[in-house]
Amino acid sequence: MGHIFDLKSARLYDEWLNSPGGVLLDRLSTDLIVRLLRPKRGERVLDVGCGTGDHLLLFHKLGLNITGIDASPCMLDIAKSRLGSKASLQVSMADDLPFEDNEFDIATLIITLEFVDDPLATLKEVGRVTKDRVFVGVLNYLSFDCILKKFISFFHDSIFREAHLFSLWGIREDIKRAYGDTLIDWGSVQTMPAFFVRRYSRNSNTYPLAQYCPFGAFIGICSKMMYTLRTEGIRIEDEVKKGAESLVDLPGF
């Protein structure tokens, strides 16, 4: 089932998002999400683990048709207060989605896999309902910022206490196992824990070395869904021979 956010957890999540570090990470990761997804107006997007609705608001501003699911009613209550009738919101587990195959053009998992029991099953289920692109955004346990936050979470209430963090290599392997040798595009963003360093983070993230650093705090991967049709090779002469034999068995032959 994974970690389902109660009211206390939902408030902690919102507090983190509204902290200086959370605001910076949200700003930088938003740039990365838009750059990798390249969304088009009118596309249908499903945000899996939509939480309090931050990314749904982003997708709405970009002109997308938005749907969000989350396992936490508390999170969805906050999202509904922000979005009103702009989005379709449902309580659902990420590995058992109440949608048809290929129902959405895009699906996103943004800081969601950190809180599910089976990331691979979740990726497969999200791929089932998506016909074009899946974006996965995860927190990187190899980044200095995330290491520090994970350490602090053992002494203070924090969403990082329950989070299972990823590495670039680990999440790429999970995506490969879920979707095969799909086409992917990826990037990362850098954040630093100290304020005097954070103030320079936005400019530093414009450099290619920073945008593709495997030790960034947030890693984003966009996968292009690919569908294959397997056919069975049948020799024509074998089928002709079988047809001739069946004619011999008919009356009058």
55-108: per-residue pLDDT in tens?
A: 999 999 999 999 999 999 999 999 999 999 999 999 999 999 999 999 999 999
> In sequence order, what are the residues at sequence separation of 6 or more whose Cβ sits closer than 8 angstroms to the Cβ of residue 110?
29, 33, 47, 49, 55, 135, 136, 137
The number of beta carbons lying within 10 Å of the beta carbon of residue 166 is 21
- How does pLDDT run across 197-230, given as a tens digit for each residue? 445 455 555 555 567 888 999 999 999 998 654 5
Domains and CATH numbers, the chain: 7-248 (3.40.50.150)
Q: Report the C-alpha gap between 77 and 90 in whole angstroms.
A: 10
Q: What pLDDT is recorded for position 197? A: 46
Please name every residue paired with 166 in a beta bridge, in sequence order, or none if there are none. Answer: 140
Name the 3-class secondary structure at 161: helix
Closest by CA position to 49, among listed 145, 135, 152, 160:
135
What single letter denotes the amino acid at residue 112? T
Closest by CA position to 90, among listed 99, 102, 81:
99
| Whole-prediction pTM | 0.83
Name the 3-class secondary structure at 9: helix
